[in-house]
């Protein structure tokens, strides 16, 4: 492998850099420390990599608008250890794309670029309406690894129509639009994209935008996004959002309206202090799983989890806790099939007549006898899932909260509980939208005595449930 080492010149370095690249058939252009000034785009070449001799010691500056380094349908290229300073001009330091196809001026069609790596670079001060940091268009088998990007006017990292791409361990600060944008373009859709262990802070719009198929977004830190921390921006399928930490964004995880989604997994994320919604799912979705998330403190007029549209959703083993003036912990409108399983909810619920509300397994119970009641009541009051029926408004109240119900199916249950308790403990899975059956309800009456409500289908066991 050939190596050509270059040094900066007192004047313009465009020809110096381009000549070094053109002089190699398979090798490395090694940049010595100093400032390299460009006034035109550098065209990249197959099998020729660009590296800094000293990490970030070589500073590439663009004195006018336009791309700095760009490769069209190139293969086996690495760019590493360099520093790029746009001087607030409208430019993109590093870009790769396919050969332009008919009607496509963005390089998203035609022959792709392949086996590309951009790692350990510093990119900063990129200005203008079309100033991006790193752009991959129609690129296969590529990585963007351990780069530091700050003060980029649009997207710090943008991908369109790529396959087998890993975006890992990058640090993004003050992107004007998205920190990382997986951007669906035209009729070609990218797939198999991993976004892992990145830190994205203070984005002017979204932290991470997802619009491609088969995306895995894991273990990222996304804080203080002015828009949405993580957004599903276009119709897609097979997206996993897992083990991310999101603090202080407008919305934490959301979908754009008017999309069709399939197989969305939102698992084991920590979401705190969202100005609006923590998780919001809009429009049509086929199989959505929201599980094992910790959600704390969302907006006063908004929800911890909001479902708006139609589809199938399982909400399992999440922990939701809000400030007293926050909106509902979970809200859904009329066209979702919902399963609520083993969640811990400190807040209000508003489930407005789902097509099918499957059993609420939101607590696991251990039975204690009536004789043990006085010894355990304090613990019960601390830990149980509070439920009571408001006959006048025909709603079921969970904790401090509201589950809107269908009056036609709820009437008999509400009638049985007229004048009922402050607390009802459910020790058997119950469907609030049909008459209860089997062992179901016991409770504490207004005077603190154990009350048992007989006459329900299947009868009631004289016992009280507490958390196991």
**What tens digit of pLDDT does each residue of 290-344 get?**
999 999 999 888 999 999 888 888 888 898 887 777 878 888 876 777 777 777 7
Domain that holds residue 318: 2-357
Q: Please tell me whether residues 345 and 222 are part of one structural domain.
A: yes
Q: Give the pLDDT of residue 312.
A: 86
For the cut 80, the answer to whether the pLDDT of residue 120 exceeds it is: yes
221: Cβ contacts below 8 Å, ≥ 6 apart: 198, 199, 200, 201, 244, 245
Q: Which residue has the tokens 């919902």?
A: 338
H or E element, residue 377: helix 373-383
User: Which of 357, 388, 403 is the C-terminal boundary of a domain?
Assistant: 357
Q: Please tell me whether residues 58 and 164 are part of one structural domain.
A: yes
Classify 354 as helix, strand or coil.
coil
371: Cβ contacts below 8 Å, ≥ 6 apart: none
DSSP annotation string for 132-161: -SEEEESEEEEEEES-EEEEESS-SEEEES
63: Cβ contacts below 8 Å, ≥ 6 apart: 37, 38, 39, 87, 89
Q: Give the pLDDT of residue 412.
A: 35
> What's the mean per-residue pLDDT of the chain?
76
Based on the number of CB atoms within 10 Å of its own CB, is 66 exposed (0-12), middle (13-18) or buried (19 or more)? middle
Q: Please tell me whether residues 40 and 82 are part of one structural domain.
A: yes
Q: What is the pTM of this model?
A: 0.78
Query: Distance between CA atoms of 177 and 185, rounded to whole angstroms?
Result: 17
Q: Please tell me whether residues 296 and 396 are part of one structural domain.
A: no
> How big, in percent rounded to 5, are the helix, strand and coil portions of the chain?
5, 50, 45
Count the domains in the chain: 2
Q: Please tell me whether residues 411 and 283 are part of one structural domain.
A: no
For the cut 60, the answer to whether the pLDDT of residue 394 exceeds it is: no
User: Which of 291, 326, 357 is the C-terminal boundary of a domain?
Assistant: 357
Q: Give the pLDDT of residue 259.
A: 83
Going from the C-alpha of 397 to that of each of 351, 391, 422, 447, the distances in angstroms are 11, 10, 10, 20
Q: Please tell me whether residues 270 and 287 are part of one structural domain.
A: yes
Q: Please tell me whether residues 353 and 391 are part of one structural domain.
A: no
pLDDT digits (tens, 9 = 90+) for 93-112: 999 998 754 444 344 457 89
**CATH code, domain carrying 37:** 2.160.20.10
The stretch 44-60 carries a mean pLDDT of 97
Q: Please tell me whether residues 279 and 333 are part of one structural domain.
A: yes
Q: Please tell me whether residues 99 and 81 are part of one structural domain.
A: yes
Which of residues 127 and 413 earns the better pLDDT score? 127
Handedness of CA 77, 78, 82, 83 (dihedral sign): positive
User: Which of 323, 338, 357 is the C-terminal boundary of a domain?
Assistant: 357
Q: Which residue has the tokens 């929800």?
A: 303
End-to-end CA distance of the chain: 66
Q: Please tell me whether residues 208 and 68 are part of one structural domain.
A: yes
The stretch 203-226 carries a mean pLDDT of 96
Q: Please tell me whether residues 348 and 379 are part of one structural domain.
A: no
Q: Please tell me whether residues 376 and 241 are part of one structural domain.
A: no
């Amino acid at each position: 492998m050939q190596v050509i080492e270059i040094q900066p010149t007192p004047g313009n370095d465009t020809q110096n850099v381009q000549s070094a690249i053109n002089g190699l058939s398979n090798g490395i252009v090694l940049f010595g420390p100093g400032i390299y000034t460009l006034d035109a785009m550098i065209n990249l070449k197959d099998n020729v990599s660009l590296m800094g001799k000293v990490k970030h010691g070589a500073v590439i500056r663009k004195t006018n608008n336009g791309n700095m380094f760009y490769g069209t349908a190139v293969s086996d290229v690495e760019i590493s250890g360099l520093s790029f300073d746009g001087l607030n001009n409208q430019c993109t330091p590093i870009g790769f794309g396919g050969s332009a196809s008919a009607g496509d001026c963005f390089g998203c069609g035609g022959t792709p670029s392949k086996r590309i790596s951009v790692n350990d670079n510093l990119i900063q001060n990129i200005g203008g309406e079309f100033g991006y940091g790193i752009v991959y268009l129609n690129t296969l088998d590529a990585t963007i690894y351990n780069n530091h990007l700050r003060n980029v006017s649009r997207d710090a990292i943008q991908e369109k129509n790529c396959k087998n791409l890993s975006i890992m361990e990058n640090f993004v600060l003050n992107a004007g639009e998205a920190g990382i944008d997986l951007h669906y373009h035209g009729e070609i859709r990218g797939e198999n994209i991993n976004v892992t262990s990145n830190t994205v802070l203070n984005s002017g719009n979204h932290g991470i935008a997802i619009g491609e198929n088969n995306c895995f977004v894991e273990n990222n830190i996304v804080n203080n996004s002015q828009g949405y921390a993580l957004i599903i921006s276009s119709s897609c399928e097979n997206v996993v959002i897992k083990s991310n930490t999101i603090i202080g964004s407008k919305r934490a995880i959301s979908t754009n309206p008017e999309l069709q989604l399939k197989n969305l997994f939102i698992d084991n994320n920590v979401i705190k202090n969202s100005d609006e919604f923590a998780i919001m799912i809009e429009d049509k979705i086929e199989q959505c799983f929201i599980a094992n998330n910790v959600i704390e403190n969302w907006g006063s007029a908004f929800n911890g989890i909001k479902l708006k549209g139609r589809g199938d959703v399982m909400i399992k083993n999440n922990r939701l806790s809000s400030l007293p003036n926050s909106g509902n912990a979970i809200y859904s409108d009329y066209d979702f099939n919902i399963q609520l399983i083993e969640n811990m909810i400190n807040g209000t619920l508003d489930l407005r007549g789902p097509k099918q509300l499957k059993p609420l397994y939101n607590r696991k119970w251990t039975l204690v006898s009536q004789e043990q009641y006085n010894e355990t009541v304090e613990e019960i009051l601390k830990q149980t899932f509070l439920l009571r029926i408001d006959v006048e408004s025909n709603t079921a109240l969970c904790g401090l909260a509201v589950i809107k119900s269908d009056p036609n199916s709820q009437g008999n249950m509400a009638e049985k509980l007229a004048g009922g308790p402050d607390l009802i403990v459910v020790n058997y899975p119950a469907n609030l939208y049909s008459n209860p059956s089997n062992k179901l309800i016991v409770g504490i009456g207004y005077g603190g005595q154990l009350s048992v409500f007989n006459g329900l289908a299947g009868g009631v066991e004289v016992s009280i449930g507490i958390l196991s």
